[in-house]
Structure 1
Amino acid sequence: MSTFDIRRARPGDERCLSFLGQATMLQTYAGIISAQNLNDLIETEQTREDYRALLDDPNVSIWLAEIERGQAAVGYLALAPRLGGETTGGERGKAVLEIKRLHVLHRFHRNGLGKRLVNEAIKEARLRKADRVVLVVNALNHEAIEFYRTYGFLKTGDTSYRAGDMDYPCYLFSLDIGRPAIG
């Protein structure tokens, strides 16, 4: 079994974040999103510049998971304020943070790494006094949907995500963290 370290991403990590984002998007969405739209999505949202902007934003927190042997990055999570005030099933005015991106290379799925990354995000959300953590997931990404449900996220709505020239169906998920954790 592999050992992983999780740390806060910092300026200079945009290269590995971009590579990870590109690789995991291809692994996850090949066969779900058309090749042209997938390439467009990667070229517009998985660039070094995109990650540099996220790293420079004081409202965004990113955790990077590295495999101990070789210290290669194998996953990450980005947490940011929910834009537009939409709380996906909660009351307006409540503090809401969104998991903008959670990507783990397929080879490292099902070993607790995703849960560890989400745990970091939940700890941060509580420190920021958030009441809820939300996310959007592609409706055909069944593995991710099952992961979020197992963690306790609830489906609170439907939406879509534009990639290239198409809108793809997505679900809104939400986790109420306003009450203290049990245990």
Structure 2
Amino acid sequence: MIITIKKCTPNELHELQEISITTFTETFQEQNSPEHLHAYLKTAYDLKKLEREVANSSSHFFFIYYNEELAGYLKLNTDGAQTETMGSDALEVERIYIKKAFQKHGLGKMLMNKAVEIALIQQKKRIWLGVWEANENAIAFYKKKGFVQTGAHSFFMGDDEQVDLIMVKALQ
């Protein structure tokens, strides 16, 4: 088994779009209506939007490969790219997704370790994320990694308002 993590480049936008749609759909299709899911996917993973996000120097995307097959990805934000105002001493894990076929192989843990490594290199004091309140597996994973809930915010799946828990981990 060979696992590699590499930074996503602007030349890989189609791969980023495909893995984004696949993993988001696999994760949330059972709990959401097809209409709301489609509306979200259409806007969140639009190629032009992804192109702007990849070009943003305060956002970073990483692909994780399992035996050379793209298995998941990570999106990190700092400064003004963060989806909430958390300050310059914080790093946001906006997205961390693994294809269902590759779950339970420790890939999510590896991506989270990558996020912490980058946060420490950038001398951030905190790492944070938003996680859907109904995503019990992810919440358990984040708690196991030392994250604690500090708040909540709205997340829209199409026009369906949902609640994301804000979870934070102190680094220093």
Q: What is the TM-score of this pair, normalised by structure 2?
A: 0.92
**Corresponding residue for 1:162?**
156
Q: Does 1:74 align with 2:71?
A: yes
Is structure 2 residue 168 aligned with structure 1 residue 174? yes
Question: Which deviates more, 131-140 or 75-84?
Answer: 75-84
Structure 1 residue matching 2:123: 3-state secondary structure: coil
Query: Counterpart in 2 of 1:136?
Result: 130
Cα distance in 1 between the residues matched to 2:120 and 2:33:
38
What TM-score, normalized by structure 1, do the two folds share?
A: 0.86
Match of 1:105 among 74, 99, 102: 99
Count residues with an aligned counterpart.
Answer: 169
Aligned to 1:17: 16
Residue number in structure 1 paired with 2:33: 34
8 Å Cα contact 1:14-1:49 kept in structure 2: no
Distance 2:4 2:50 in 1: 20
What does 1:29-68 correspond to in 2, within 5 Å?
A: 29-68=28-67
Contact persistence 1:18–1:48 (CA under 8 A)? yes
Q: Which portions of structure 1, spanning 4 or more consecutive aligned residues, are displaced by more than 6 angstroms?
A: none
Q: Secondary structure at the match of 2:48?
A: helix
Residue 17 of structure 1 contacts residue 48 of structure 1 at CA under 8 Å; is this kept in 2? no
- Long gaps (5+) in structure 1: 88-92
Indicate the SS of the match to 2:10: coil
**Gap change, CA 1:113 and 1:72, over 3 Å in 2:** same
The 3 A distance-change label for structure 1 pair 94 and 43 is: closer
Quick one: which amino acid aligns to residue 140 of structure 2?
Answer: E
CA distance in 2, matches of 1:122, 1:136: 16
Counting only pairs closer than 5 Å after superposition, residues 111-150 of structure 1 correspond to structure 2 as: 111-150=105-144
- Offset of 1:7 from its aligned partner? 0.9
Amino acid at match of 1:122: V
Runs of 5+ unmatched residues, structure 2? none
Percent identity between the two aligned chains: 24
Q: CA deviation at 1:148?
A: 0.8
Residue 84 of structure 1 and its aligned partner are, at CA, apart by 4.6
